Amino acid sequence: MQAFIANIQGFTAIGIGIIIGLGAIGACIGIGLMGGKYIEACARQPELMNPLQTKMFLLAGLIDAAFLIGVGVAMLFAFANPLLSKLAAG
């Protein structure tokens, strides 16, 4: 039984690392690509800088929010692991 609990905790830790790591990589790549395209668009049409800036910051917040939701799910598994609570109850 102890080995089973240790396996659950170990695989949960690996999953948490994957969730946070891949989420951070994806958010960084997404914001980097979007920022680069924003600079290209501003260089091409400077009169559209202000409307594009508003949209860029809105989308950057949404991309970052998706990463933070992933961090929240990872923290759920880290501190209130539903897999271990089911095991302890039954």
Predicted local distance difference test score (pLDDT) of residue 90: 64
Number of domains in the chain: 1
**Is 40 a domain residue?**
yes
pTM score of the predicted model: 0.81
Residue whose pair of structure tokens reads 């290209």 in the numeric block: 40
Q: Which of 12, 64, 73, 77 is catalytic?
A: 64
Structure tokens at 24: 């951070």
Predicted local distance difference test score (pLDDT) of residue 78: 93
Q: What residue numbers bound the domain in which 76 lies? A: 22-80
Amino acid at site 53: Q
Structure tokens at 89: 């109850």
Predicted local distance difference test score (pLDDT) of residue 66: 94
Write the CB contacts of 66 (distance below 8 Å, at least 6 apart in sequence). Answer: 23, 27
Which domain CATH number covers 60?
1.20.20.10
64 is catalytic: yes
The per-residue pLDDT string of the chain (90 residues; one tens digit each, 9 = 90 and over) reads 888 889 999 999 999 999 999 999 999 999 999 999 999 999 999 999 999 999 999 999 999 999 999 999 999 999 998 888 777 776
**Is 54 a domain residue?**
yes
Q: Quick count: other Cβ atoms within 10 Å of Cβ 30?
A: 17
Predicted local distance difference test score (pLDDT) of residue 84: 84
**Is 9 a domain residue?**
no
**Is 86 a domain residue?**
no
Predicted local distance difference test score (pLDDT) of residue 16: 96
**Is 71 a domain residue?**
yes
**Is 6 a domain residue?**
no
**Is 89 a domain residue?**
no
